[in-house]
Structure formats: structure tokens, C-alpha cells
Amino acid sequence: SQTIHQWPATLVQPVGSPLSLECTVEGTSNPNLYWYRQAAGRGLQLLFYSVGIGQISSEVPQNLSASRPQDRQFILSSKKLLLSDSGFYLCARDRGTNTGELFFGEGSRLTVL
Amino acid sequence: EDKVVQSPLSLVVHEGDTVTLNCSYEVTNFRSLLWYKQEKKAPTFLFMLTSSGIEKKSGRLSSILDKKELFSILNITATQTGDSAVYLCAVSSGTYKYIFGTGTRLKVLA
């Protein structure tokens, strides 16, 4: 099994508050990991990807940051949330070839008020 | 700029109908095209296509890729209410790079 766990599943936060979303992966070593955001009516937008511990690549400059403190752990953070940060955040891994299919976690739905 | 466009944006059909979902793309470095089904949370993988003209099938679902015309279709025959979902198309266009369309929302009425 190569399950992807995300938590929390749902989060409601006030503007200006911090954020931490966690993703952990089972059953595979050194996975390539991704954070995507899905806003209402829009496609999945790649935020970050990581090929290993401490290695983070950012695709879109914004209010968010990511970290990979352990091989199977990927964290999405913000120091001060904006209204525009609301959305559905999906963690994903690839098959190891970085171009094949992506496998997704169950997602974290963030509402910023 | 790389982009993936899906059509229609939404579709309502009755059980037993056949539907065709479209995905066109413009990318600088095509590697593969992926189809996903998203019901409530996690998108689930359906197909990966890399070669033109070779149909992939899984039960009532099938998909084909045309690399000359830069599009793919996803067909669903004998639709059921359980097929109601958002169908996402994505293109892998380089290392760690996946471009997603906005999806087609399909609703199948009993």
C-alpha cells in the first residue's frame, strides 16, 4: 500500500492566522511529493514539489511555504493567511518517474474568513 | 504558456447515455496525458496515454490520444449515476511538471 494521509481534512481559519497542513506517505521510500491547490472552478495549481528531504521547489510565488523534514512527510505552511488562500489542498506523489501518473491524498479543505 | 483545456465545462445526461469528454492541450514538451475522476475529494487515476491512436479501456470507460491534433477524448458508455463526478485531464510536460485542465463536471440522472 502506498497511502497518502492528509490532515486536517477541514480547516476554517481567520485572515492573518498561521497555517500548517501535513501530508505523510506510506509504503515507499524517497517519493517525489507535490502540493496542489484546487480553487472553485479552477484546475489544480502546482504549488510546490519535493524530490527529497529538505529539497523544495516552488512553482508559484505566494504567501505559502513548504518543508520536508522527513522522507515521507511534506508540510504546507503560512505565517499569515489571506482570503485568497482558501481552497482545496491536495498532496500527491508520483510513481517515481516524475512524468507518470500522480496519486493523491484525500485533501484538506481550507476556508479563510 | 502551457495549457490544457477541457470541454464541455459541465454536462447533464440520463442513465444509459454515452458521453464524450474532450481535452486539448498546448505544451512545449509532451510526455503523457492523464485522466482522473474526482468525486468528492481525491482525484482517482483512470488512464495514462502516451501514444497516438491506441485506445485504453477499462470497463465502460475508454480513452484515446491524438498527438497530431493535440487532443484526447474520454468516452463513457451506458452511463450510471455512479459516474457523476468531475473528470480532470492533465498533461505531463516535463520533469515534475503536470498541467491540469479545469475539469468537466458530469451529472448522470437516474
**What pLDDT shows up at residue A25?**
94
Angle at A74 between CA A69 and CA A78, to 5 degrees: 95
What residue has cell string 520536508?
A: A68
Search chain B and give the residue with CA nearest A51.
Answer: B96
Phi, psi of A84 (to 5 degrees): -70, -5
Any chain A CB within 8 A of the CB of B24? Answer: no
B110 CB-near residues (< 8 Å, 6+ apart): B14, B15, B81
Task: Say yes or no to pLDDT of A1 above 70.
Answer: no
The residue with greater pLDDT, A42 or A113, is A113
B3-41 residue pLDDT tens: 999 999 999 999 999 999 999 999 988 999 999 999 988
**What pLDDT shows up at residue B41?**
85
Measured distance between the N- and C-terminal CA atoms of chain B, rounded to whole angstroms: 41
Tell me how far CA of residue A4 lies from CA of A20, A65, A72, B26, B107, in angstroms.
17, 20, 9, 31, 28
Q: What is the mean pLDDT of chain A?
A: 90
Least confident of A40-44, A88-92, A101-105, B33-37: A40-44
Task: Say yes or no to pLDDT of A66 above 90.
Answer: yes
B39-85 residue pLDDT tens: 988 899 999 999 888 899 999 999 999 999 999 999 999 999 999 99
**What pLDDT shows up at residue B27?**
92
List of chain B residues whose C-beta atoms are within 8 Å of the C-beta of residue A90: 42-43
Contact across the interface for A104 and B43, Cβ inside 8 Å: yes
Search chain A and give the residue with CA nearest B35.
Answer: A101
Contact across the interface for A106 and B42, Cβ inside 8 Å: yes
Task: Say yes or no to pLDDT of A13 above 80.
Answer: yes
Task: Say yes or no to pLDDT of A2 above 70.
Answer: no
